[in-house]
Chains A and B, each alone.
Chain A
Amino acid sequence: MLGYIAKRTAIAVFVVFATSALTFFLLSLIPGETAVTIIQRVFVGDVTYNPSQAEIEATEQIFHLGNPLWMQYLYWLNNALHGNFGTSYISGRPVLSEILVRLPATVELAIAATILSLVVAVPLGMISAARQNSKTDYLSMASATFFIAMPNFWLGLILILLFSLHLDLLPVAGYGGLDNLILPAITLGAGMMAVTMRLMRSSVLEVLRLDYITTARAKGMDEKRIMYRHVLKNAMIPVITVAGLQLGYLLGGTVIVETIFAWPGIGKLLIDSIDARDIPIIQGCVVFIAIMFSLLNLLVDLSYYFLDPRIKYEKV
């Protein structure tokens, strides 16, 4: 068990490191000069401003943009290992604090959406499977397809239109109380819920075909008990995997939903920074997302152990 954790941690560290290097070099491929963008965004506030050479040179000096790329990367890596992820070009604030300030909002939204999707999807998926090809099954699968196909920016706007403008129940946008959380969580959770529901259904169907279920039925166990005691837990394994991965995605921020609802999360920070070529922040966000993702993957793997003791880590 310990050896397994160590191995997985080593892989996670490698992933994070490789991601950071890859991002750094890919970012340098974005067309356009960083100094020009800084002048436009920070100093003038006009994206069409054409700076003179003198202005560009002065700016490059302020932000140390003159060094060769590999040197910039080593410099960054050295600082990062000492806990200093650099300073945002745009706001001038440390990258770490920019990310941490936005973390609670993102975590709150991601968890709310995940819980919402699981609470709805798991029972519905089970019912669908238990009553395969019934009306309930068709209805819930059809609505799942609908929710998967629906783009979330559209759903978000429709929800605002309905619940905020027409019914006047919830705020349009912003961050703060529980009422602010409801619409973004539904918007984000809807697609996830649909995917999870379909997965749950097929997973339950698969388990239902296994021998031990037949055995359980043969010994006269009632259907409900079979469902809860034998099917649910085994069917949950793929669902947990997917939910964990999705939570990882969500913790990286959800650009569209955060933008629509003016939700101050990491996704919004990332997209603002990409737009403004705020490379230290982009770099910081990507590394942060990589860390989150690796960590959650690890947690998901470990949770299998509790769900299915047959999975032995030593053999992996």
Chain B
Amino acid sequence: MITRRKVAIIAICLVLLSSIMAGCIEKETQEPATTPLMPEITPAAKEAKKTLVVGEMWSIRGVDPAKRGSFVKEKAMIVDTLVEANPDFTLRPGLAESWEQISDVQWKFHLRKGVKFHDGTELTADTVKWSIERALKINPPVKAVTMIKSIEVVDKNTLLFTTEEPYAAFPASLEYPNLGIVSPTSGTDDKGIIVKPIGTGPFKFESFDVATGTLYLLRNDDYWGKKPKLEKVIIKEIPDPASRAMSVEKGEVDFTCDVPYGDIERLKTTPGLKVELHPTARVYQLTFGNLSGTPYSDERVRKAISYAIDREVISERTLHGCAEPAIGPVIPTIAWANKGLKGYSYDPEKARDLLAEAGWRDVDGDGVLEKGGEEFSVTLYTYPQRPGLQPMAEAIQAMLKDVGIKVEVRVMDWSAIKEHMTNKDMKLSAYALAMVPDPDYYLRRTYHSEGSYNLWGYSNPEMDSLLEEGLKTFDPDKRQEIYDRVQEIALDEVPLIHVAYYKVAVVMRDHVKGFVFNPIAHDYMLNPEMYIGKSND
């Protein structure tokens, strides 16, 4: 009897063991080169002080620059783009040393000379053309952002770009991270996806562990810019915000961002850590279902809602300082922001007056306004991917209740909102202000009557013609005037309400030095000047 039981147990163990082994063997044959063991981040490795370990907020699912440009360029620093951007969103030369406009639709770009890819091959006009055409082919939005019609190689170091139509934002559009230049010698899988990118950036690809989502980078000693100080960078995904906070607290990672809001105060006072809050090019916006046939068709109602929102409280308390009260549509540190704008102050009295003027009154005394027998009762939709949205939506709910608008908050997947939201509902979202550093990107998509973000049907002929004008005005001063006016109208007519600018919380060990935040980043951006120095305590 006893032996039978033993046999049963042994049999089950054997089956399970063999399945593990099968898994391991499969794994080895599937991934021969790219599956190193998780490195032991031992104290010895830390003493070398040349390795930076980063806790990344999103799952890392690939390293092809044409698809995951913002990761490969901004975080992994493997590739460079032809044009780069300064923290105030002005342009500076990247792999292109200079550029000139030939005609309304033609641009000549001169490449930096003597730049080498990580494998030693030279950067030439041919490789740049190949790389950009590859991105255009496999990534549809690249075409929409750049409007490239054709690319010609003039000589070894010169390229001629032709755009579909006059496009003043063209040089800025080449900063688009998905246009990071890769060498044709990069390793691909059998479907042509790059699995071993060879770029020109300050760090080169060493290996990528698919299962754990960990990327290993080595310093590029032949970098064309200033030589990076770090020897190695390890980026590992830690999608859970609380785990990220604890990992940096324990020192398992040196650098991370977007920790739970509730942890920020504690981390600030934790010895050995520093916390920085930086506004980034992302804005929290409150949008309406439709601007016609709804209460929102009355501009006074839209203004009233804007006055009813206490942006200060939302930024400082609801989001623990991880937001900044919004004034106009773009963050004021951006070069093209209209510096003269005055935002909507918190003024619930004025909000009530405006609503009364628009005919909304609380007839039955239940605290909710009515007009024509209908209650001002709406649903505010938002999605879970950005942690600030739900608390912000709940704060707005309370603030609007205060002026007599009844709001129900519903959180659901971004793509599901479209199917539930009716014309009289509202939506709170966090939009990227600048996928490329040019005012045209966000403003035209948001305020043009045919803009792809403009789902609420805002239409103003003056706005349309200004935005179209901006697209083909090449003189920077005239262009600035146009976009100043665009922002002025946008603020005055409130087709949508800007609540706050997104701030990212960067948490690092205090031995991490030389980090400079660049708001052009989509979350955060590492910089080659970073190094591991002495701990402050």
CA of A229 to CA of B436, assembled, Å: 74
- Name which residue of chain B comes closest to A46, CB basis: B432
Q: Is B154 an interface residue (CB 8 A)?
A: no
Residue of B15, B26, B31, B35 with most partner-chain A CB within 10 A: B26
Q: What residues on B are CB-neighbors of A176 within 8 Å?
A: 37-38, 40
Query: Contact: B139 with A33, CB < 8 Å?
Result: no
Do A172 and B252 touch across chains, with their CB atoms under 8 A apart?
A: yes
A46/B435 contact (C-beta < 8 A), A55-B140, A90-B61, A165-B250 known: yes
Q: A13-54 toward B: CB 8 Å interface, digit per residue (1/0)?
A: 000000000000000001111001101101111111111101
* Interface size grouping (class) on chain B: 35 or more
A-contact 0/1 string along B236-263, CB 8 Å cutoff = 1111101100110110100000000000
Instruction: Report Cα–Cα, A271/B231, bound state, in Å.
Output: 34
Q: Which of B438-492 contact A (CB under 8 A)?
A: 445, 452-453, 455
The answer to whether A91 touches B62, judged by C-beta atoms less than 8 angstroms apart, is: yes
A101 on the B face (CB < 8 A): yes
For the residues of A in contact with B, the DSSP-based class is helix
The docked-state distance in angstroms from the alpha carbon of A276 to that of B24 is 27
Known: A44-B435, A48-B429, A100-B27. A174 touches B212 (CB 8 A): yes
Give the interface segment out of B2-10, B335-343, B345-353, B359-367. B2-10
B59 CB contacts on chain A under 8 angstroms: 268, 272
Q: Is B47 an interface residue (CB 8 A)?
A: no
Residue pair A260, B7 in contact (C-beta under 8 Å):
no
Smallest distance from the beta carbon of A203 to chain B beta carbons, Å?
16
Task: Report the minimal beta-carbon distance from A231 to chain B, rounded to whole angstroms.
Answer: 13
On chain A, the residues within 8 Å of B435 by CB distance are 44, 46, 49
A221: CB under 8 A from chain B? no
Are B243 and A306 within 8 A (Cβ)? no
Measured CB to CB, the closest approach of chain A to B279, in angstroms, equals 17
With beta carbons under 8 angstroms apart, the residue of B64, B252, B455 that contacts A174 is B252
Minimum C-beta distance from B110 to chain A (A): 29
User: Chain B residues near A100 (CB, 8 Å)?
Assistant: 23, 26-27, 30
Bound complex: CA of A261 vs CA of B212, how far in Å? 11
Asked if A246 is an interface residue, CB under 8 A from chain B, the answer is no
User: Between A and B, how many residue pairs show CB distances below 8 Å?
Assistant: 194
Which one of A3-11, A104-112, A141-149, A188-196 is at the B interface? Answer: A104-112
Query: Taking CB as reference atom, which chain A residue is nearest B74?
Result: A45
Closest A residue by C-beta to B416: A31
A173 contacts chain B at the CB level, 8 A cutoff: yes
Inter-chain CA distance A58–B137, complex, in Å, is 10
Nearest chain A CB to B450 CB, angstrom units: 10
Beyond A32-B416, A48-B429, A303-B8, is A175–B23 a contact (Cβ under 8 Å)?
no
A299 and B15 in contact, given A42-B67, A173-B247, A260-B240 (Cβ under 8 angstroms): yes
Please choose the segment from A125-133, A156-164, A209-217 that sits at the chain B interface, where 4 or more of its residues have CB less than 8 A away: A156-164
Within 8 A of B (CB), among A77-106: 87-88, 90-93, 97-98, 100-105
- Chain B residues 374-410 with CB under 8 Å of chain A are 383, 385
The CA-CA distance from A187 to B230 in the complex, in Å, is 37
**Nearest 10 A/B pairs, CB to CB:** A32-B415, A306-B8, A176-B38, A58-B140, A103-B23, A31-B416, A92-B193, A264-B211, A91-B61, A55-B140
- Between A and B, 11 residue pairs with Cβ closer than 8 Å are A30-B415, A32-B419, A45-B68, A87-B191, A91-B62, A171-B252, A172-B246, A173-B252, A176-B38, A259-B239, A307-B8
Which B residues contact A (CB, under 8 angstroms)? 1, 4-5, 7-8, 11-12, 15-16, 19-20, 23-24, 26-27, 30-31, 35, 37-38, 40, 59, 61-62, 64, 67-71, 138-144, 178, 189, 191, 193, 210-213, 236-240, 242-243, 246-247, 249-250, 252, 383, 385, 413-416, 418-419, 429-432, 435, 445, 452-453, 455, 522
